Each structure stands twice: as structure tokens, then as C-alpha cells.
Chain A
Amino acid sequence: MVQGKPSAVMVVGGGVAGIQAALDLANRGLHVYLVERGPSIGGHMAQLDKTFPTMDCSICILAPKMVECGRHPNITIITDAEVVGLKGRAGDFRVRVLVRPRYVDLERCTGCGICVEKCPMRPPLRRIPDEFNVGLGERRAIYIPFPQAVPRAAIVDPEHCLYLRKNKCLLCEEFCQAEAVDFSQQPRELELHVGAIVIATGFEFLDASIVAEYGYGRYKNVLTSLELERLVCASGPTGGELVRPSDGKKPERIAFIQCVGSRSTRPGHAPYCSAVCCMYATKEAILIKEHEPECEVTIFYMDLRAFGKGFQELVTRAKEEYGIRYVRARPSRLIEDPGTGDVIVRYEDTEALELRDERFDLVVLCPALVPCRDNVKLAKALGLELDEHGFFGVLDPLLAPVDTNVPGIFVCGYCTGPKDISESVYQASCAAERAMEVVFGREVEG
């Protein structure tokens, strides 16, 4: 290691890619600041029920990595935080990080949940949608993001907290035996000295309601795939019971619609392919069949993209073992039957060359996955270039797939473009390796 160079690095984003990059760097002996925007690391993978093509339980394979991050002596997790400024150069960066108040002292909070139980902000007083369950469940004004959260600690939502809004209540503070609730917390800024930075901010779901003809947000029985994921998950808001939102009835016919707002040149849509939807729809269809073997599942697709190791095999299983029906079509619109809440899918069966109206109990939309809106701010703070869609650009997609226009800053995971978990994980290890080269190698100036 070059004398005087900091042996610390920063990872921005605590999803599976950021977690993997942090672990690799920490295991290489570097100190890692893992900066996460939200109250817990875990990212979208923590919300998934299972993962394709192996059908592993998602949180079961992620949680051990999250925990490892949480107790690794070389990793400092900084939640509720964002990067706001950068000075210096590769090998010698000074990064400014803004930490929002959590109103809970992370050193003291043991995650026991007494505060959550005592918080009065629940129905009938207020119904606060729970972000982790994509609004399908409820939480309080003080809450633990999800059972496997790391750090497993409470956080106060200032939008809903009675004390922060109206200066009354303080029940959480009163009942907390660890004396962890701290309403005196203020936003604070840290300046961290690091040799290299890895960016892994992941993705967001496109707001499916912009594809107006599918009626998301207007039709009760039209869900997004992430909502379905929470509904079939045993730790989800229904305990894994798949019921339709309008009447709690068990759906007997379910349709998936692929490429909702993706592979589409309409304004506000994503022209690219999100790369994971064909496979996760196949996975979700299998999960539905495992829950309800009698349920009929249809997937409407344009091109069935099953291109990775073991993918085609899973699709074959879905067809042959589970009887899942794949129809090549891009439905033109959905129509709600107001009497029953059923949804009619209008499509041209391009193989049978027929226009059809088909009735389903529940329709699941697979929306485009888009870059995080916050990328714009982050790119500005770090001097990074974004592509036309808002993904982080790379120097050379062939030989330098994680290098950016700023030497010493590397990118990985979905924030560089569509990819699945496996690719995100090895790309994260790749970005970590590049950061190692900066700190340990001859590469001071990239």
C-alpha cells in the first residue's frame, strides 16, 4: 500500500450489489463506509419472495450477507444518508455525506419493538402505508423497516410522528428501556477520507399508472409484480395468502403482462429491455402454482428472454410441470368489469392470428425497471456522467465495464443498466476489485 493513502473506501447503496462490494473490500482488509439512503441495507432483494432460476428464498440467502456486513469489524454502515460532495482524486478522496436524523440512537437501540407497539399512529388514528410491503401493509410512525433489517433498529418517520408534528405523545421515549429514542437529533454532515468509491444505487420500478390503458391505480385487481411478490411471501402482509384486493377472493385465473412501459418508444417509457421480468414472471407464476395448484396462470410476452444459466430450463419446467401458459402478445388494453372486479385482457394472439378478450381474476403488470431518480443528484455531487436514461455510464462496456469518467469511482449492479442478481453480485465483486487496485496497486491515477 502506498504510504499515506487512506485504507478506507466507500460504497454507496446497500442493496445486494453494495453489500457484496462492501464485503469483498472489507475482507481484503480495507475499511468500508457503506452509505445507504434508507433506514436498512438489503435493497429490493430483501422484498423478493424467491429468486430465479434456483427458486432460493431471497431473504434467506441475503440476510446472512446483511448480517455479515452489520457485524464486520471493517464495515461502518451509515443509513439514512446521502453523498453530497466530493473533493480530491483517486486514492485521496474527501466525501461529504449528509446523515438525516433517525431520532433513534443506533448505538443504543436493540430493535426490541416496544416503541413500535406503543406508538399510537395506527388505525383508526392513521393508516400509514408500509414501504417494505409496497403499501399493502401498515406501519407506525416509529417502526422497524422489516424483521431482518440491518441495523435492526427503529426509525421515526417525521411526516407522521405526533411529537415532531404537534409536540405531544413521546410514548416511544417513555417506554424505551434502552433510552434510545432521541428527538434532539439534527441532520449532520460527515467528511470521510477514502481511496476509492463504488456506486451501487440499484433501480426503481416505473410507475405503472403511466401506461394508462392497463388501468393500474384505477382497477383494484391490477397489481404490480412487486406487490404480487409481497402477497405470495410468507412474511408479507397476508402471511403468504394470495387474495385479490377487491374482495379478498382467491383468484382462479391470473395473467402477467410483460414489458409494461419497457421496450416501448412512447414518451416516459423505457425503450430498453429490463432483462429480468420474463424470468421473475416465470418464477412468480410458479410460486402461484405452488400456493394454488388449481389456479390458471397466463404470461403475455413479446420475446421470452430466458438467456442465462438455467433460465431456459426453468421456463421449460414452468410450461411442462406447472402448466403455465405463455401467449405471445402485447395486450392493447385492460377493461374492468365493474360488477365482479374481474379484468378483461384484450390482445391479439399473434400465433393464432386472432383478436381476443379474455377474463382474469387478477392481472399482474411487470413494469420497466428504471434508474433511481436520485442518480441525478449523486452524479452531480461526484462529477459522474449519466446515460440518456439516467443509468451511470461506463468508460468502456467491453474492457472497463465498471470504470466511470472519474478515476477511482466505480459503478456496479442495476444502476449501470439492466441485469439480474447474479450479474449484479459478480459485477460488484468486479468493482470491488477495481477499488482494490486503486488502494493496493500502482494505480493512483486511473
Chain B
Amino acid sequence: MSERERGQEEGKGSEEPRVGVFICHCGLNIAGTVDVEEVVKYASTLPDVVVAKDYMYMCSSAGLDMIKEAIREHKLNRVVVAACTPRTHEPLFRQTCAEAGLNPYLFEMANIREHCSWVHMHEKKMATEKAKDIVRMTVAKARLLRPQEDIVVSVEPKALVIGGGVSGMTAALSLARQGFKVYLVEKEPELGGLLRKLNKIYPAFREASELLSELVKAVESEENIEVLTSTRVEHVKGFVGNFTVKLRRASGEELELFVGTIIVATGAVEYEPKGLYGYGELEGVITQLQLEERLRKGELGEPEAVVFILCAGAREAEGPRSYCSRICCITALKNAVLIKEERPETDIYVLYRDIQTPGIEYEELYHLARELGVRFVRYSPEKPPKVSAEGGRLRVSVFCTFLGRELLVPCDLVVLSAPLVQHEDGRGLSRLLKVPLSQDGFFLEAHPKLRPVEFASDGIFLCGAAHFPKPIGECVAQARAAAGKAAILMGARQLRTEAITAVVDEARCIGCGLCVELCPFGAPILEGRKARIREAVCKGCGTCAASCPRNAISMRHFTDEQIEAQIKALLSGR
């Protein structure tokens, strides 16, 4: 028995249970369907229940005072409130118990609103019987409750940002400006990522190099940021607030850092469209990124006609690149406009499936391109364009869905908009950090709307193209969002979580490691052939407990004994 558990045995939890049951009318929400008086009467007959009361609104201050008074008057050591959902009200009632000197984990809630009155509005008698069943089950569990203490983890106020592109630099700057120490790790010898390869950025057609030097200057003059270029992450262990990270520099030198949070900003790379539209075979067939380079260096030459082919290797019917890569339409339109403005006599054809210019500025860009005389030809993926070489020039044939016939376009340059894809070493990093990738190969956020810049594992965040291709403004927004989330954790210096975690009975554990394999959060580790749960990482999901072949793992606050008691109470009937 651990010291903590011993402490708990000595607490109120080990005394003879004295249960108080408090039943809420919730106005008419419950009382309009359930006969509350009858449930009160019934509850007072249940084993170990010493008092049962009802009130119009248990969550009102008068209702809460009623609970506190009853705890003192009847020396209650377990409290059951039968009312609405614990999702909204459990924290309030737990706190009320604590205010009356009772460990908050000696409280249990019975949901007789969502689980009963609201769904059985037209069967009042049955609903009352069901409310009794729910209360009986809850009391059966409450009798077996044990006091618990919240888990408190310290959080090191330092961050590791992986990736020195625009997202990584932005995230690092944000954190540094809030006063946190940041290690910014970049595998290349220079900061900048994809930005270093770009020409001009829409909107405003700003020079990428200008943007880049502005960011790099800010990063380098920031005393809270330590830039580590030519450096890779080699090993990560630990958990939220307490990560130990091993880095290796190109020189072979090893470094070890201790950080509280990690931000993944590793970006993406352009897909190499080998074998598509003559790429790699025909001279003059290049990718969008290669075009950016030519434009940047002023090496475009004077082509009479340029054909852009969109969705080259993207939005495929099957396989890993079935997604729309988001930035390719915008980039193609931007470059079409730049060429047209520089040399209006150049014929430009954009072969597209759907023009993806959502929002205000991008739609304006589309209009601008049309005004400048860029020609748009819509093709269908069933009849993709064909590129061939003829007499020293290129020739593109495409079936135009608007005209309903084949067009032949002689040209000097074919530019393929290939999608952005995950780095080769993305999978490796996902393993190191134990964070998932989605089917498209990019990193998978915890939830697209609830937690768009967080991983399911606490303390690790993501932003920018590592998550999915997106324009720079959106990368910046995500980077700052990720920094803000990391700042919340580090600013508090500690993290408090519920004590509902898995516990290993060492005597029973055979060290098979099944729990280590199954845990989606990486909470269990094997130590000396015994499993140990790292409480700060554990989310209390119970996967390990359910699968342990020796029943060596139990869940605090949801023990087998407690759940069995509930089931028995249900089956024991009225």
C-alpha cells in the first residue's frame, strides 16, 4: 500500500458510511415528470442512508447551504445528489462538499434529468421508478467511495519548438514575448523553411525574403530564444510539464533539454510529381516551387505560352494524396498574375478542376487573373490533360468541359501544382513524440474544432503546414494559438488533474506490457518488469484496466467493486 493510499484509508472514507441523498426538482424539469417526494421516501430506506431531502433547485445557494448543513448535522461522510448532469454541476457539488470539510471524491451524482425525466416525459410512473433505480445504484457506489487527492504536476516554464519555418519562428517569438525560454530547433543550417524557397507572397505580393529577414531578425534579437540549427530531435521522454529531450547537432554533439511543453512546427514539402505530365522526362515541365525559384532569380526567360496544371498528384481518387492541398490554386494564380504583369504578351492557361479561392483576397486574386487575360480551362479528372514534346516546344492537350471538346495548347513551360506532403521523417517524429498522423500523412490534432492546435497528449501542440497545408497568415494564426496554449500551461507553473487514474497492483502484475501497448496516451511504463502508471499522463479511460490479463489494474473512483455494486443494486430490483 502506497503512502498516499494509507493516508486515504485513515481518512473519512474508511469509516462506516453515512450517506445523505439530495434530490433536486430542477423546477419542473424533474419534478414535472418524476414524483420527487416518492423518490425521497424511497431513498431514505436504502442501506446507510441517514438523511434524504429534496429542494426546488439544489444548485441554488439555498440548496447548497442545505447540503452543507446536513453534512455537519448528520455527520455525513458520503453525499449523493440526484439532479442533472455531472458535466455541468459535479464541480459545484464537489466544491460544496469540500467547503463542509468532506473530501470532494466522496460525492456522487445521479442524473435523473437527462437520463430520466427529459426522456420519459410521457411515462411519469415509469420515470419515477427509473429515478429510484438510478438513486439506488448511485447510493450503492457512494457507500464504497474512497477519498482521493487531485494530482498536481509541476510544469517547467520552458518550451521546445521543433521546426524553424514561419510557424516555428512565430510560435517561438510569441512565447518569448510572454517571458518564456524557448529552444527553437531546425534541422537545416538556416532558419526559414519553405519561405526561403518562395518568391513573392500574396496578398500584397510581398517579397518572401523581406518577410523572412524580418522574422529571422526578430528571432535572433530575442534573448529568450535559443536557436539550434542543423539540429535534430533524437529522443523524447517524460510527460506534460516534464519532457526530457535529446538533440543531436550535425557536428555530432549531443544536447539534453528539460522543457515543459513542445510545439511541432515541422512544415511540409512539395510532392515530387514523378511520372506525371512528363515531369522528370520532358524539359520545361517544372513544379510550382521550381517556378518560384526561377521568378525569384529572374530566370524565367521569355516564354510565349505557359500552362499551369492544377491538382497534379492531388485530389486523387485513391491513395494518400486524395486531399486538396489548399495553397496550390492560390500559388498558381499569384504566379500567373506576376508573369502576366511582367510580360502581358505571355499566353497563360490555367487547367483546373475547381478553383479553390475561398474568402475575400483569394477571390479577388482570381478576378485579377481573369482581368489580366489569364485563360482558365476546366478539366475533369476522368480526362486529365496530356503533355508531349513536339518540335522543340511542349504541347498540352486537354478536354475542356465547358466547350465539350479537346484543346491543343503549344507552350514553352508547363508548371505543375503539386500538393504539399509530409516530410520523409514525419513518421519518425510522430513515433518519438507518440502523437498520431492522419491518413493524409499530416499530424492529427486532438479535435478539429475543440482542440485544433493540440495533440491528444497533454503538453504537445502543433501548428502550420505540419497539420495541413495552409497559407502563411493561417500558419501564423495557428502558431500563435499553439504558443498561447503552451503559455497557459507554463504560466500556471503547475497542472492539476482529477485523481481518476489507473493504479497497478504490483503483486498481480506479470509485466506483460499489454497496457503499455494499448494506452492511447502512453501513461503506463514498464519498470523492473512491473507496469507503473504515470498519473499525470493517465486520462482514466480504463483501456488498460479492461485489458489486463491478470486484473492487476484498477481505476480510482471507478473500481470493479464500485461498478459491481451498482450493477447488483440495479439487478436487485425494487
A residues sitting closer than 8 Å to B (CB atoms) are 16, 24, 27-29, 51, 53-54, 56, 61, 64-65, 67, 71, 110-114, 117, 177-178, 263, 271-275, 303-313, 316, 328, 350-351, 353, 387, 389, 391, 397-402, 417-419, 421-423, 425-430, 432-434, 436-437, 440-443
B191 at the interface (CB under 8 A from A): no
Contacts of B178 in A (CB 8 A): 436-437, 440-441
Shortest Cβ distance from residue A434 to the other chain B in the assembled complex, whole angstroms: 7
CA distance A393 to B202 in the complex (A): 16
6 contacts across the A-B interface (CB closer than 8 A): A271-B367, A304-B354, A308-B468, A402-B477, A421-B449, A441-B177
**Quick check: A64 and B363 within 8 Å, CB to CB?**
no
8 A Cβ contacts from B456-515 to A: 467-468, 472-474, 476-478, 480-485, 487-488, 491-492
Shortest Cβ distance from residue A19 to the other chain B in the assembled complex, whole angstroms: 11
**Quick check: A112 and B481 within 8 Å, CB to CB?**
no
**Quick check: B484 and A433 within 8 Å, CB to CB?**
yes
**Quick check: B354 and A110 within 8 Å, CB to CB?**
no
Across chains A and B, the number of contacting residue pairs, with CB separation under 8 Å, is 200
B519 at the interface (CB under 8 A from A): no
B552 at the interface (CB under 8 A from A): no
**Most chain A CB inside 10 Å of its own CB: which residue of B317, B324, B448, B488:** B448
Mostly, the A contact residues are loop
Q: Across the interface, name the chain B residue whose C-beta is closest to A418.
A: B359
Shortest Cβ distance from residue B444 to the other chain A in the assembled complex, whole angstroms: 9
Shortest Cβ distance from residue B519 to the other chain A in the assembled complex, whole angstroms: 24
Which one of B26, B439, B487 contacts A112 once the chains associate, using CB atoms below 8 Å? B26
Contacts of A441 in B (CB 8 A): 177-179
Interface size class of B (residues with CB under 8 A): 35 or more
Shortest Cβ distance from residue A61 to the other chain B in the assembled complex, whole angstroms: 6
**Quick check: B401 and A399 within 8 Å, CB to CB?**
no
Contacts of B201 in A (CB 8 A): 398
Contacts of A417 in B (CB 8 A): 359-361
**Quick check: B359 and A273 within 8 Å, CB to CB?**
yes
CA distance A137 to B496 in the complex (A): 44
Contacts of A28 in B (CB 8 A): 484, 487-488, 491
The 9 closest A-B pairs by CB, nearest first: A112-B27, A433-B484, A429-B481, A275-B358, A430-B480, A303-B354, A309-B468, A430-B477, A272-B360
Q: A271-B363, A430-B477 are in contact. Are A442 and B491 (CB under 8 A)?
A: no
Contacts of A422 in B (CB 8 A): 448-449, 452
**Most chain B CB inside 10 Å of its own CB: which residue of A51, A113, A353, A422:** A422
Contacts of A311 in B (CB 8 A): 323-324
B residues sitting closer than 8 Å to A (CB atoms) are 26-29, 56-57, 59-60, 87-88, 91-92, 170, 174, 177-179, 201, 203-204, 206, 211, 214-215, 315, 317, 322-324, 326, 354-364, 367, 380, 401-402, 404, 438-440, 442, 447-450, 452-453, 467-468, 472-474, 476-478, 480-485, 487-488, 491-492
Which one of B60, B438, B485 contacts A429 once the chains associate, using CB atoms below 8 Å? B485
**Quick check: A313 and B322 within 8 Å, CB to CB?**
yes
Contacts of A397 in B (CB 8 A): 203-204, 361, 473
**Quick check: A436 and B484 within 8 Å, CB to CB?**
yes
CA distance A433 to B484 in the complex (A): 5
Shortest Cβ distance from residue A423 to the other chain B in the assembled complex, whole angstroms: 7
Q: A306-B324, A422-B449, A441-B177 are in contact. Are A64 and B27 (CB under 8 A)?
A: no
Shortest Cβ distance from residue B72 to the other chain A in the assembled complex, whole angstroms: 25
Contacts of A117 in B (CB 8 A): 28
CA distance A302 to B82 in the complex (A): 54
Which one of A423, A425, A433 contacts B474 once the chains associate, using CB atoms below 8 Å? A423
Which one of A16, A67, A273, A350 contacts B402 once the chains associate, using CB atoms below 8 Å? A350
CA distance A306 to B87 in the complex (A): 35
Additional A-B contacts beyond A428-B481, A433-B480 (10; CB < 8 A)? A67-B87, A274-B358, A312-B323, A350-B401, A353-B402, A422-B449, A426-B452, A426-B478, A432-B484, A436-B178
**Quick check: A29 and B478 within 8 Å, CB to CB?**
no
CA distance A112 to B56 in the complex (A): 9
**Quick check: A387 and B358 within 8 Å, CB to CB?**
no
Which one of B322, B448, B487 contacts A433 once the chains associate, using CB atoms below 8 Å? B487
Shortest Cβ distance from residue B490 to the other chain A in the assembled complex, whole angstroms: 10
Q: A271-B363, A307-B358, A399-B214 are in contact. Are A425 and B452 (CB under 8 A)?
A: yes
Contacts of A310 in B (CB 8 A): 323, 438, 448
